[in-house]
Amino acid sequence: MITKLLIANRGEIARRIMRTAREMGIATVAVYSEADADAPFVQDADESVALDGVSAIDTYLNIPAIVDCALRVEADTVHPGYGFLAESADFARACLAAGLLFVGPTPDAIETMGDKLKAKSIMETAGVPTLPSAEITPDDLDGAARSAEHIGFPVLVKATAGGGGKGMRIVDDAASLGSAIQAAAREATAAFGDGRVFLEKYLVGPRHVEVQIFGDTEGTVVHLFERDCSVQRRHQKIIEEAPSPAVTDELRSRMGATAVAAGQAVGYVGAGTVEFLLSDGEFWFLEMNTRLQVEHPVTELVTGLDLVRLQLTLAAGAAIPDEVRSATLSGHAIEARLYAEDPRNGFLPSTGTIHRFRIDGARTDAGVVDGSEVSIHYDPMIAKVIARGVDRPEAIRRLVHALRTAQIHGVTTNRDLLVRILLHPDFADGSADTSFLEHHPPAEMATPLADSEARRRHALAAALAGQAARRQATGALASVPSGWRNSPSQSQEVSFDDGGETIDVEYRFGRDGVEAAAGGHAFGTVVVHGQEPGEVDLAIDGRRSLFRTHRVGDIWFVDSPDGSSRLVELPRFPVAHTEHLAGSLTAPMPGKVVSVDVSPGDVVEVGDQLLIIEAMKMEHAIVSPTNGTVGAVTVSPGDQVEPDQVLVVIDEA
């Protein structure tokens, strides 16, 4: 019996596990890094223990430290979550050696399936179709080149351990193979503590379909149907759904039976996911994740099962319950992963304080709340938003509405991209595959939901909310009626910066309504039905909407049914500011310099790699925007950099 559970993970993962454990009457313990000291999951736990350091290797990948924490608080069970040590056989062995129950499969099963090359060999023996692959070493690039030629380009460089898109690179030709292997190995080391990589044949445009399995100690393995995870960026899933729109009943039966056979081949116990690539009705084994997946909520919503509860039940030695053996599909569920990143700028991660976090109308598994800090040290996913419908169109509509009306203030996110994906005809008709974002570039797909006209309305709402706040501060009535006035008010003016463009707002309460203009465009009939510092009920030409407004310093966040805006209120008398030297390339985010590839005096061309910054467990290349000569390099490998810090100066040719 489990009485006290230590969760060796963080964020929404830890909070999700704690929620079920609490319902089962199980006490929970959180471990946390210095960077996570004030994180919500730490507050959610019954107890918490600090880990020294901030990096993943020093904290959430530190096996001795986590086991010691479990023993100190007298926990009897450890749940690894999904990610970090969830697929570490060494961690499972260390827990068992310390007398702790480990929520997951046996160390041997983790080791076998965690080594993707070994797993492929076992699957081949079991008759499961696999893709051509080859083991390589980052130091033997000549051998790797020969293996790649034998497999045939394009190939995929993959981390032997771990997953989640980390340590993966697509390679189209021999010229770029070496740099891709080195980058993948570095990234795999940072994310999983294991830099081994291998090559695998890369299929262009398949579907990514995975099957959820569970096994018990009596040797029974069952599947809980499939999930479609085809819409991805950088091999990282961002939209998942169950069931797959590409899977027929006959195909579902075949894939399910194959996944069960894979689990039985290694005596699998607990939750696991068998991943396949699907094309033209045929499928190939991709890998097996020996843990619960980030996308497990869609399976929960279409089966009515709590998969974390099932994990804990099986870990305690119970047999698979009858309701799991007889589970059926009901309805359709879709999950969107909400990341703190900028899809319009190469998915650069966004850090900072989340001033407000509100999502209504869908299940939200979030690792953040109002006031949470998003740091550079961990994965940038901040929440999963999941909607269920009686059918797929209803699930899409519900998820779109929840995301459209969400209030997420303080960091840049991929919310608008998610909405546009869900509304795209190729997704709506169920035909989207893994190449979806290659055919529909994210920088174009992620254009703000609020167009220029909507942002002008948002600016007017912010101006009116600001006026209400000033009236409230001086003791005047907060709400201003918009009807006939004996004495028209004076014209008011306020300016906002909207992503580098200025929106000047002018408004005046007249005898018969409000006269207003924004960005040089005069509004038609304007009626203010309500005017508060936090919301403005505004009708323009008969179109009435509620604009929710939130001010942080000089920044106004405005949310309405037509999108969201971040507007910076400009001072009436601007103060001059300094500028960087012409030709300066600055850091787009906080991070650590991994490598510097140029020196002063080097001649560079457009697109040449200058250096690499690592943030949130991913590498980001800084490339030259112009032809020229390197005038200065201001950083070295290992340096920590802040946003807007000068890195390299290029003298244009």
pLDDT at 615: 78
pLDDT at 21: 98
Band (581; pLDDT cuts 50, 70, 90): low
> Does residue 583 register a pLDDT over 70?
no
Band (488; pLDDT cuts 50, 70, 90): low
Task: Based on the fold, state whether residues 510 and 457 are members of the same structural domain.
Answer: yes
Band (590; pLDDT cuts 50, 70, 90): confident
% of the chain with per-residue pLDDT over 90: 74
> Does residue 230 register a pLDDT over 60?
yes
Band (620; pLDDT cuts 50, 70, 90): confident
Alpha carbon of 289 to those of 78, 213, 264, 636, 644: distances in Å? 18, 10, 14, 37, 39
Band (165; pLDDT cuts 50, 70, 90): confident
123, part of any domain: no
Task: Based on the fold, state whether residues 287 and 425 are members of the same structural domain.
Answer: yes
Task: Based on the fold, state whether residues 391 and 261 are members of the same structural domain.
Answer: yes
Taking only the tens place, the pLDDT of each residue in 415-452 is 999 999 999 999 999 999 999 999 999 999 999 999 99
Q: Which of residues 19 and 643 earns the better pLDDT score? A: 19
pLDDT at 258: 95
Q: Domain containing 384: what range? A: 210-233+245-445
The residues facing 271 across adjacent strands are 214
When divided into structural domains, the chain yields a total of 5
Average pLDDT over residues 269-279: 96
Total residues belonging to the chain: 653
Least confident of 99-108, 566-575, 589-598, 618-627: 566-575
Q: Which of 430, 445, 460 is the last residue of a domain?
A: 445
State the CATH number of the domain containing residue 69.
3.40.50.20
Task: Based on the fold, state whether residues 510 and 382 are members of the same structural domain.
Answer: no
Task: Based on the fold, state whether residues 254 and 352 are members of the same structural domain.
Answer: yes
Element (H, E) at 91: helix 89-97
> Does residue 577 register a pLDDT over 50?
no
120, part of any domain: no
110, part of any domain: no
542, part of any domain: yes
% of the chain with per-residue pLDDT over 70: 95
Task: Decide: 272 and 214 in contact? Cβ < 8 Å.
Answer: yes
Average pLDDT over residues 156-182: 87
Least confident of 113-122, 299-308, 628-637: 113-122
Work out the angle at residue 346's Cα, subtended by the Cα atoms of residues 342 and 348, and round it to the nearest 5 degrees: 50
- Calculate the CA 53 to chain-centre distance: 23
124, part of any domain: no
> Does residue 579 register a pLDDT over 60?
no
State the CATH number of the domain containing residue 144.
3.30.1490.20
pLDDT at 483: 44
Task: Based on the fold, state whether residues 12 and 92 are members of the same structural domain.
Answer: yes
Least confident of 337-346, 349-358, 523-532, 605-614: 605-614
Task: Based on the fold, state whether residues 380 and 310 are members of the same structural domain.
Answer: yes
192, part of any domain: yes
pLDDT at 162: 65
Q: Which of 50, 83, 103 is the last residue of a domain?
A: 103
State the CATH number of the domain containing residue 394.
3.30.470.20
Band (578; pLDDT cuts 50, 70, 90): very low
136, part of any domain: yes
Cα dihedral value 173, 179, 180, 185, nearest 10: 150
Q: Which of residues 591 and 40 earns the better pLDDT score? A: 40
State the CATH number of the domain containing residue 589.
2.40.50.100
Q: Are strands 101-102 and 77-79 parallel, antiparallel or unpaired?
A: parallel
pLDDT at 478: 47
Task: Based on the fold, state whether residues 259 and 179 are members of the same structural domain.
Answer: no
| DSSP 8-state assignment for residue 202 | P
34 burial type by CB count under 10 A (0-12 exposed, 13-18 middle, 19+ buried): middle
Task: Based on the fold, state whether residues 379 and 475 are members of the same structural domain.
Answer: no
Average pLDDT over residues 94-101: 98
pLDDT at 482: 46
For residue 165 the two structure tokens come to 């898109």
Task: Based on the fold, state whether residues 166 and 285 are members of the same structural domain.
Answer: no
Global pTM value: 0.84
Nearest to 90 by CA among 121, 64, 122: 64
Tell me the pLDDT of the chain averaged across its residues: 92
- What is 28-81 written as a DSSP string? EEEEE-GGGTT-HHHHHSSEEEE-S-SSTTTTTT-HHHHHHHHHHTT-SEEE--
State the CATH number of the domain containing residue 457.
3.30.700
* Catalytic center residues: 291
Counting runs of H as helices and runs of E as strands, what totals does the chain give?
A: 18, 40
> Does residue 486 register a pLDDT over 50?
no
Task: Based on the fold, state whether residues 170 and 97 are members of the same structural domain.
Answer: no
424, part of any domain: yes
Average pLDDT over residues 218-240: 95
Task: Based on the fold, state whether residues 458 and 388 are members of the same structural domain.
Answer: no
pLDDT at 619: 80
